[in-house]
Amino acid sequence: MIKNITYKKEILAIIIKGKYLKKKGINFFTDPKLSQQVAFMNHPKKHLIQPHTHKNRVRKIKGSTEVLIILGGILKINFFDNKKKYIFSKTVMKNDIVILLKGGHGFEVKKNCKMIEVKQGPYSESKDKSKF
């Protein structure tokens, strides 16, 4: 269900296949040390989550990570190393989740694709993205 996509011993991405939808309770997919935390929650009717706030805490994050939630369709992800050289591709589909951590990436829509993207902010395309 959870597949680390690695290249030269570095995790470039994590792909979570849609089977997570059957899990109950709170299920984190990511190591607590990653700068992006992703979980799936599935609770029964009348379940209560205790009210809470999040503390103001300064974090130092290097780089940007992205999370893609595939709502429908088929998406091919092309992975590139830090020198912008193509290394391999992976395909994801409806209900899959992709966490992009390192390296470069590009996308090819293979079947009409709807997705949600989540990333750290504030975000400036001109300062945070280098297209090639």
pLDDT tens, per residue, the chain with 132 residues? 899 999 999 999 999 999 999 999 999 999 999 999 999 999 999 999 999 999 999 988 888 999 999 999 999 999 999 899 999 999 999 999 999 999 999 999 999 999 999 998 888 888 888 999
CATH number of 1-20+71-118: 2.60.40
Delimit the domains of the chain by residue range: 1-20+71-118
pTM: 0.91
3-state secondary structure the chain: CEEEEEECCEEEEEEECHHHHHCCEEEECCCCCCCCCCEEEECCCCCCCCCCCCCCCCCCCCCCCEEEEEEEEEEEEEEECCCCCEEEEEEEECCCEEEECCCEEEEEEEEEEEEEEEECCCCCHHHHCCCC
